[in-house]
């Protein structure tokens, strides 16, 4: 590639160091340099559009995957996403996220695996190895200190060196020990006063020199804030394009001598090599949707089943017999419309979705199942469902959507499409010929299921007019803040109107929106981002009705479904509270007090507070479990699958018990002070007892662990051991058990055997230098002390099953991986 570099002009080399468009890099076909197309994301290959994306397999979120403690499953996830990236012609998949769950309020926690860096690094490596096995590049992110979404582009993560090395950089170190990613993405935030995209010491020193990273470093989208420093730090790609700080600015810097052409050559060569590697396995053609037949349903279902955690099972209320003629009450809209992913980069369009309600109706075919939608779980009124909307142009479920240049609906029609929701978003180049001054018309036939006072809600970046049967019911003037964070999930800008409607009557609904006149927020955008969301809800109420109490009393068992949707958990903001919405807490309490047996299925990406915990018989933490969530839950509730998920995070009783409380999110000076240091999550042994500890998770069977012993792997090293133990299934059904190995109270390894009833197996966990090391700030190296170490097998972070002591006779130091 050195010959190619010498053939390029300075302008051509500089052009390679930034994106050409939102999802693609620059190509130079005259030099045989291909473009790189990238795609989110962590739970599925969304493709080239943030909104109305082509369909793809939607896997469970990373919190759920973290609960599996199963690298083999994660490898298969990566392999699948690599194959689907090829189908969508994307050579760079922007995942996995291996930041840590520092606070239960982290808005993007669902996108990362765990609060523990060893678990995060091992699973992250498996993901990378899976994706790259098919020639597609993974891109671990966000290096470094991006545990908070509030003010993420301006915040400063203040982390002492020992904490940074043993926790927040450690997940990347473990990942790089076990994999070789071809790309890594920097974080938006500053660390100790310097933006991560400008951190020469952390990128060139720590990441490259010490960790041995050989791939390409890219910025997060709009995560470069200057011209010279990111080049010096070694960030090869400014994303997205067109460039804000490179291009002509970088050419000027070279001509003025503040950046050398040798630096440009080095970075350009990285881009060329990377493009050659991933460009050889993808085609430059339009992406296509993944079909239902191509979806690895069994794998998605298995990941969900292994990741869902049984938190409580009083009096063995679970499993339920699928052969019984029980009367089962199902409460809550997440049963019929599950939340399968979080917001932001994790948003996507699944190839299909199996709801818990339909799966339970199939699984428990002898039961009398009654469903009640419960209470609203949304902040803004959601779109009407396809079961009540028909597109006039086809006569099939959907919404006709017409895009026009100009502000006239009889003018230049640019694009027509059929949508599945009444939400539009223009933030990239999905509609190629659309001009900044444009309008949009959504048209559908609405056929309500019930008679009553029904509610429309609208939030829009520009003017929006809603007509029902030619009568104007809403004229919304739009909001003025067109920052990407607000566009992706606009906050409290909704207008609502209630109108009387009749069941079964067809209503013509027309929604006209007009682009905002605000200027683009940066050169990346040819126009200001645009977003419109129109919701519809029948008989919207906020209180518990008598039907809920009556149904709960009549049923043998009641299952309550609760959730946080992307209005509560998403990229670009953090949660305000651990609590579910007040209405959902009321629903749980009401059902629990009136039903003979009650079960909760909670769909959130992070811990919640549980003021009703003593009243509910069983709790399943479902996370955002992907498109097979219904089948996975039916398997678990019926006993066809045995729960084996273990919490990858601590569930505190209240947010005040979290070690980061008071130092999360940012303070008034945009500082995020990691004052708890190493006492984060389960490591905070002086914190109040949690509601559920890290590593907790129940099963329908019981396991016994005995005969813990340590065996040196080599006589030449006393810090390379195999931990062996015997695990026996002493219960009545087959199942997996996670054997968790802790050294001085910190997780250092794990194994997950499957055992039939009565079966015993010998498990082995490798304990190398990582298990016995701590970072010595003065020495600038990892130190292994000559002392006794406590080695445990634990059921969870707080429950020791077997323990021994191992003494290291000779101290030593090391660096690298």
Contact 142, 157 (CB under 8 A): no
Question: What tokens does 159 get?
Answer: 């982390």
At 91 the three-state DSSP class reads coil
In angstroms and rounded to an integer, the radius of gyration of the C-alpha atoms of the chain is 27
Instruction: Region of 778 please: left (phi>0), alpha (psi -120 to 50) or beta.
Output: alpha
- Residue 533's alpha-carbon distances to 84, 343, 388, 487, 503, in angstroms, are 29, 15, 17, 10, 24
Query: Counting runs of H as helices and runs of E as strands, what totals does the chain give?
Result: 18, 39
- Report residue 582 as tokens: 């007040």
Q: In this structure, how many other beta carbons lie within 10 angstroms of the beta carbon of residue 315?
A: 8
Strands in 651-772 per DSSP E: 671-673, 703-712, 721-729, 735-736, 739-743, 746-751, 754-755, 760-767
Give the C-alpha separation, 669 to 748, whole Å.
36
CA 311 to chain centre: 21
Provide the token pair at 585: 């807490």
Burial of 229 (0-12, 13-18, 19+ CB in 10 A): middle
CA distance 543 to 528: 39
Reference 96, options 79, 108, 113, 109; nearest CA is 113
Distance CA 780, CA 633 (A): 49
Write out the H or E segment, with its range, that includes residue 535: strand 530-537
End-to-end CA distance of the chain: 29
Which of 420, 367, 423, 356 has its CA nearest to residue 562? 356
**Among all residues, which ones are annotated catalytic?**
220
- Is the previous residue joined to 750 through a cis bond, with omega within 30 degrees of 0? no
- Residue 737's alpha-carbon distances to 127, 794, 802, in angstroms, are 22, 11, 15
Which residues sit opposite 672 in a β-bridge? 157
Q: d(Cα 117, Cα 129) in Å, to the nearest integer? A: 18
DSSP string for 580-619: PPHHHHHHHHHHHHHSSSEEEEEE-SS----TTTTT-SEE
Residue 69: Cβ-neighbour burial (10 angstroms; 0-12, 13-18, 19+): buried
Nearest to 456 by CA among 376, 343, 551, 535: 535
Rounded CA separation 473/470 (Å) = 9
3 state DSSP class of 285? coil
Query: Which of left, alpha, beta for 620 (phi over 0: left; psi -120 to 50: alpha)?
Result: beta
Question: Does residue 794 contact residue 695 with C-beta atoms inside 8 Å?
Answer: yes
Q: Which residue in this structure is represented by tokens 């509910």?
A: 616
DSSP 8-class letter at 37: B
């Amino acid at each position: 590639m050195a010959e190619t570099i010498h053939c390029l002009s300075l302008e051509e080399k500089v052009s390679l160091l930034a994106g050409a468009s939102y999802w693609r890099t620059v190509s130079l076909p005259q030099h045989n340099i291909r473009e790189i197309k990238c795609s989110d994301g962590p739970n599925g290959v969304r493709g080239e559009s943030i909104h109305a994306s082509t369909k793809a397999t939607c896997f469970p979120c990373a919190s759920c995957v973290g609960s599996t403690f199963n690298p083999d499953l994660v490898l298969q996830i990566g392999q699948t996403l690599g194959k689907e990236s090829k189908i969508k012609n994307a050579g760079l998949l922007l995942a996995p996220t291996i930041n840590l769950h520092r606070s239960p309020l982290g808005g993007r926690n669902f996108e990362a695996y765990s609060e523990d860096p060893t678990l995060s690094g091992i699973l992250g490596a498996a993901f990378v190895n899976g994706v790259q096995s098919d020639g597609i590049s993974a891109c671990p992110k966000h290096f470094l200190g991006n545990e908070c979404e509030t003010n993420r582009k301006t915040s400063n993560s203040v982390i002492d060196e020992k904490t940074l090395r043993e926790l927040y950089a450690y997940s990347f170190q473990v990942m790089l020990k076990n994999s070789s990613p071809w790309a890594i993405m920097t974080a938006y935030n500053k660390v100790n006063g310097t933006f991560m995209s400008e951190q020469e010491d952390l990128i060139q020193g720590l990441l490259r020199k010490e960790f041995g990273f050989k791939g390409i470093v890219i910025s997060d989208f709009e995560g470069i804030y200057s011209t010279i420093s990111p080049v010096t730090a070694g960030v090869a790609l400014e994303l997205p394009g067109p460039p804000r700080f490179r291009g002509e600015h970088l050419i000027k810097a070279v001509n003025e001598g503040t950046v050398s052409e040798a630096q440009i050559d080095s970075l350009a060569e990285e881009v060329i090599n990377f493009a050659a590697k991933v460009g050889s396995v993808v085609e430059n053609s339009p992406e296509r949707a993944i079909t239902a037949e191509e979806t690895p349903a069994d794998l998605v279902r298995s990941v969900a089943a292994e990741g869902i955690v049984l938190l409580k099972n009083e009096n063995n209320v679970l499993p339920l017999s699928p052969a019984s003629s029980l009367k089962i009450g199902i409460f809550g809209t997440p049963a019929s419309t599950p939340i399968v992913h979080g917001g932001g980069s994790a948003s996507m369009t699944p190839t299909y979705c199996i709801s818990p309600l339909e799966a339970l109706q199939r699984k428990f075919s002898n039961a009398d199942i009654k469903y009640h939608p419960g209470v609203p779980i949304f902040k803004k009124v959601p779109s009407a469902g396809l079961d009540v909307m028909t597109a006039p142009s086809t006569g099939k479920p959907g919404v006709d959507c017409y895009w026009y240049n100009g502000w006239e609906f009889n003018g230049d029609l640019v694009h027509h499409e059929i949508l599945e929701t009444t939400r539009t978003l223009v933030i990239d180049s999905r509609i190629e010929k659309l001009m900044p001054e444009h309008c949009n018309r959504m048209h559908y036939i609405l056929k309500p299921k019930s008679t009553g006072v029904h509610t429309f809600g609208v939030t829009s970046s520009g003017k929006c007019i809603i007509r029902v049967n030619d009568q104007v019911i809403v004229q919304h003037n739009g909001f003025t803040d067109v920052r990407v964070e607000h566009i992706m999930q606009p906050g409290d800008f909704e207008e609502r109107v209630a109108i009387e409607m009749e069941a079964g009557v067809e209503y013509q609904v027309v929604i006209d929106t007009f682009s905002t006149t605000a200027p683009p927020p940066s050169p990346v955008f040819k126009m200001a981002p645009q977003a419109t969301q129109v919701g519809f809800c029948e008989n919207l109420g906020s209180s518990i009705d008598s039907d809920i109490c009556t149904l709960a009393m009549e049923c043998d068992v009641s299952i309550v479904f609760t959730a946080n949707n992307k209005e509560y958990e998403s990229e670009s903001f953090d949660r305000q509270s651990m609590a579910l919405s007040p209405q959902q807490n009321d629903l749980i309490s009401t059902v629990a007090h009136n039903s003979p047996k009650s079960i909760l299925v909670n769909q959130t990406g992070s811990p919640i507070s549980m003021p009703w915990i003593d009243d509910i018989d069983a709790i399943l933490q479902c996370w955002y479990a992907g498109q097979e969530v219904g089948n996975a839950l039916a398997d678990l509730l019926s006993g066809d699958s045995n729960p084996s998920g273990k919490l990858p995070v601590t569930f505190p009783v209240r947010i005040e018990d979290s070690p980061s409380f008071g130092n999360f999110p940012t303070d008034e000076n945009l500082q995020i002070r990691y004052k708890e240091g190493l006492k984060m999550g389960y490591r905070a042994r002086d914190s109040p007892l949690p509601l559920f500890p890290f590593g907790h998770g129940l099963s329908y069977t019981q396991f016994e662990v005995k005969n813990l012993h340590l065996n040196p792997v080599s006589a030449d090293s006393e810090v390379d051991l195999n931990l062996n133990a015997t695990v026996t299934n002493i219960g009545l059904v087959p199942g997996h058990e996670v054997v968790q190995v802790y050294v001085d109270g910190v997780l250092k390894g794990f194994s997950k055997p499957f055992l039939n009833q009565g079966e015993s197996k010998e498990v082995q966990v490798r304990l190398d230098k990582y298990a016995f090391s701590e970072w010595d700030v003065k020495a600038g190296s990892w130190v292994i002390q000559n002392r006794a170490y406590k080695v445990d097998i634990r059921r969870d972070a707080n429950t020791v099953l077997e323990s021994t002591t191992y003494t290291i006779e000779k101290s030593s130091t090391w660096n690298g991986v």
